[in-house]
Amino acid sequence: MSPSDFDVELKDLYERSVGQLMTDYFDASAFDAFHEYLCQKADLIKSEHVVSKQVLHYLLSAQQVIESRAEYLPAAKQNIQLAEEFAMLLGLIAIGEGRNDRAPGVPRAI
């Protein structure tokens, strides 16, 4: 299976995290599992020239849903930093990097 193929496990994790948040229930452990899986997926696809629309959709949707629910749902507001983490992960995928490619406090050599 190519890293850009439709991913059933990713769909399940998305539904258990973002899908639940759309019903106004924030499950922190589901979001942790979803984020971790996406980080691992980003490492797999960082060298690919084509990225699945599924991955892009789920990253954008997670960010948007967290931000919209944070306006009135205390649990989402407490975890608003997750929206930034999903946006950052999308940016890393766009430039062909993974989460562990950068070390904090160490300048990047270009």
Residue length of the chain: 110
Q: What does pTM read for this prediction? A: 0.88
Could you tell me if residue 96 is left (phi over 0), alpha (psi between -120 and 50 degrees) or otherwise beta?
Answer: left
pLDDT score recorded for residue 67: 98
Tell me the residue ranges of DSSP E strands in the chain: none
Q: What is the CA radius of gyration of the chain?
A: 14
Structure tokens at 12: 């399940």
Condensed to tens digits (0 to 9), the pLDDT of residues 10-19 reads: 999 999 999 9
Q: How far apart are the first and last CA of the chain?
A: 33
85-97: average pLDDT? 93
**Residue whose tokens read 């980003």:** 42
